[in-house]
Structure 1
Amino acid sequence: MKLQRTNRLRAAAVGALAVSGALVLSACGSDNNSGGSGGESTSKAASNIKCGEDANLLASGSSAQKNAMDIWTQTYQSACSGTQINYKPTGSGAGIQEFLQGKTAFAGSDSALKPEEVAQSKKVCKSGQGIDLPMVGGPVAVTYNVSGVDDLVLDAETLGKIFDSEITKWNDPEIKKLNPDAKLPGTKIQAFHRSDESGTTDNFTKYLNSAAPSAWKHEPAKAWAGKGGQGADGSSGIATNVKQNDGAIGYVELSYATGNDLNSVKLDTGASEPVEATTDNASKAIADAKVTGKGKDLALELNYKTKTEGAYPIVLVTYEIACDKGNKKDSLDAMKSFLTYTASEDGQKALGDKGYAPIPDEIIAKVRTTIDSLS
């Protein structure tokens, strides 16, 4: 078996450059996010992958990491063609439920497991429990489509009121105050939120509740709790609706904003200058995160109220959720191999031009050690 794996890896490394040029990420068709990961870099990364046992690896969850999963899957399968990876971007809530029902090898979630979900996971993990492995981070961009406005500054207070239907016109005095030089129209605001349970919603509302509790009194949750607005399915649904409707505003991961050529709000955080939604600025905020998980669990606590210069506070971290012990035997080896690649230096670097921020070195080192110990 080892000889077969070695031969397969050598053959894949030789042919990966030709193959990668012909592959197209599925995200390009569904979300208009153009551009591949690069043939030469894909081939090099593929040559460093150590394949696991052949398997059909099923996973689901976070749509925030869909574009990342597309890149990772393309590169991994160019090296390990015997393993088929099927990741369904059903949303964090649905992904966790499928994992807890034993339908998938792992789940993707933009929020860590709740205590009751950890308790439920013990039925699936048998001798262990579900744990959170932070794999990729990035900014949640507040995208907008307002005719004649290409540069817009908002703060947590105005965002909270907009998404809770307290501010309903783009020329509202509170928005004018933050944008004295902008020609703001009297267009009605169309605020779009996720209709499905989403970790992106959870993180966005954590920011609103933390940074502007007087404007956003709802408890943070995966399910939308604000008043009014319009629901859209998945990040791609919000991006599409914002693009098609003048006066629209919504929240999506940065890759969906850039991939659809959408404008993004700059945030007034209290720092000397408004902060743009970029991977570098998100990394400055993620660097403030603390590991709060116990044992092998690596759940993070983010600082949504940071005023650090250049730190963009609306960020999320996507976790891969797996059992520490008691993983599915028929897919354990393949899952560990795939997650080892996603957490590797190559796997993290592959996402830089897609709007994602790599996990800080100190944390990702712990992730790699934990993946190696999964059983």
Structure 2
Amino acid sequence: MKQLQRTSRLRTAAVGALTVCGALVLSACGSDDNSGGSGSETSKAAGNISCGGEGKLLASGSSAQKNAMDVWTQTYQSACDTTQLNYKPTGSGAGIQEFLQGKTAFAGSDSALEPGEVAKSKKVCKGGQAVDLPMVGGPIAVTYNLEGVDDLVLDAETLAEIFDSKITKWNDPAIKKLNPDAKLPSTKIQAFHRSDESGTTDNFTKYLNTAAPGSWKHEPAKAWAGKGGQGADGSSGIATNVKQNDGAIGYAELSYATGNDLNTVKLDTGAKEPVEATTGNASKAIADAKVVGQGKDLALELNYKTQAESAYPIVLATYEIVCDQGNKKETLAATKSFLKYTASEDGQKALAEKGYAPIPEEIITKVRSTIDGLK
């Protein structure tokens, strides 16, 4: 019964989780029917796509958007079969480096470019520079596996001390205080973090540093800086390790939690009720974001300290990073065509069905305008 209740709750949080395809060539994922929608829905969306270019389009980076990329690529290539898109979910840090080395047409990153990276991009973007285009939003779910506990509430301070190895047992007084009715065992906490440089880690630690500065002293970064814990490669690695180990806790995008049938932590944010990690709750936090990028750059500033009712504050925005000018002639048409689709109404609508939060209309409108002007 508990298992059925947990499954029902998670499916409410995000309808139809995707199966994570291990292939690097996303077109090969189509045979696993990761679309989650009917063939007619895919065909309808594909019919609205304006194709451009042909050949291979290489991209890499954020694993957070991997499930979104699977859906987008399946739909896009059903309409544009002359373009083969290869997206490697190598992690944000690796994706940015490959882009700056001129190996890819665009990169996916869960963190906006740093000033030094923008400066380096001018060598690749002849006559221009790289810009951040927010394309995917969503909650970073704190997943856990604890026998006998299917409903768990934590706050920023407690999370910070768990992931910094200051709280090491599940029956710690701080956790008991937040969960007075739960039967918490003395099981050792196994905290899993990303071993690769990750924008998910950057956003998660920004939340800890912003919402619990007294408990999390480390500067936010793509590379993990907390004490202790165990590393795992990619969001899929986090989800797999949490699922396999009683007493485990980790952080990953919501689609990885739902896809692996994992419990997720509710956050005590100071609102009247603890907040669950859902697409709708994340959208309320993302809607509070501000564009802080200059010119064509659309980097966002997220509000990790929101106490608004039902607003889930551990969120991220994944950017597609591309040259505003100086894109390679052989891939420019395909790049613009694909990104136009992902930013379109159809492309954004597909996200909500997969555990992601569409980018707010005011922001995505600016993204579409910038894509139209890519050169």
Q: TM-score, normalised by structure 1?
A: 0.92
The 1-side partners of 2:319 and 2:286 are apart by 14
The 2-side partners of 1:354 and 1:29 are apart by 18
What residue number does 1:219 align with? 219
Q: Name the SS for the 1:249 alignment partner.
A: strand
Give the RMSD, CA atoms, in angstroms. 1.5
Confirm whether residue 323 of structure 1 aligns to residue 323 of structure 2. Answer: yes
* Residues 75-125 of structure 1, C-alpha deviations (whole Å, 9 max, x = no match): 000000000000000000000000000000000000000000000000000
What residue number does 1:260 align with? 260
Query: What is the letter of the counterpart of residue 77 of structure 1?
Result: Q
What residue number does 1:96 align with? 96
C-alpha contact 1:34 1:259 (8 A) present in aligned 2: no
Query: What is the letter of the counterpart of residue 164 of structure 2?
Result: D
What residue number does 2:20 align with? 27
What residue number does 1:52 align with? 52
Q: Name the SS for the 2:124 alignment partner.
A: helix
Query: What is the letter of the counterpart of residue 165 of structure 2?
Result: S
The 2-side partners of 1:229 and 1:38 are apart by 42
C-alpha contact 1:171 1:186 (8 A) present in aligned 2: yes
Query: What is the letter of the counterpart of residue 69 of structure 1?
Result: M
Q: C-alpha displacement at 1:210, in angstroms?
A: 0.1
1:120-159 counterparts in 2 under 5 A? 120-159=120-159
What residue number does 1:282 align with? 282
What residue number does 1:369 align with? 369
Confirm whether residue 296 of structure 1 aligns to residue 300 of structure 2. Answer: no
Query: What is the letter of the counterpart of residue 79 of structure 1?
Result: A
Query: What is the letter of the counterpart of residue 361 of structure 1?
Result: E
* Residues 313-336 of structure 1, C-alpha deviations (whole Å, 9 max, x = no match): 000000000000000110000000
C-alpha contact 1:96 1:108 (8 A) present in aligned 2: yes
* Residues 317-369 of structure 1, C-alpha deviations (whole Å, 9 max, x = no match): 00000000000110000000000000000000012121100000000000000
The 2-side partners of 1:35 and 1:111 are apart by 26
C-alpha contact 2:105 2:327 (8 A) present in aligned 1: yes
* Residues 18-39 of structure 1, C-alpha deviations (whole Å, 9 max, x = no match): xxxxxxx772568999762331
Q: C-alpha displacement at 1:223, in angstroms?
A: 0.1
Unpaired stretches in structure 2, ≥5 consecutive residues: 1-17, 24-28
Identity %: 82
C-alpha contact 1:33 1:258 (8 A) present in aligned 2: no
What residue number does 1:272 align with? 272
What residue number does 2:305 align with? 305
C-alpha contact 2:34 2:70 (8 A) present in aligned 1: no
Query: What is the letter of the counterpart of residue 125 of structure 1?
Result: C
The 2-side partners of 1:39 and 1:154 are apart by 41
Q: Name the SS for the 1:133 alignment partner.
A: strand
The total of aligned residue pairs comes to 351
What residue number does 1:39 align with? 39
Seen in structure 2, the aligned counterparts of structure 1 residues 347 and 103 have a Cα distance that, compared at 3 Å, is same
Q: TM-score, normalised by structure 2?
A: 0.92
C-alpha contact 1:33 1:260 (8 A) present in aligned 2: no
Unpaired stretches in structure 1, ≥5 consecutive residues: 1-24
Confirm whether residue 164 of structure 1 aligns to residue 167 of structure 2. Answer: no
Query: What is the letter of the counterpart of residue 318 of structure 1?
Result: T
Seen in structure 2, the aligned counterparts of structure 1 residues 362 and 49 have a Cα distance that, compared at 3 Å, is same
What residue number does 2:3 align with? none
The 2-side partners of 1:33 and 1:83 are apart by 20
Q: Name the SS for the 1:219 alignment partner.
A: coil
What residue number does 2:12 align with? none
1:181-192 counterparts in 2 under 5 A? 181-192=181-192
The 2-side partners of 1:34 and 1:291 are apart by 32
Query: What is the letter of the counterpart of residue 344 of structure 1?
Result: S
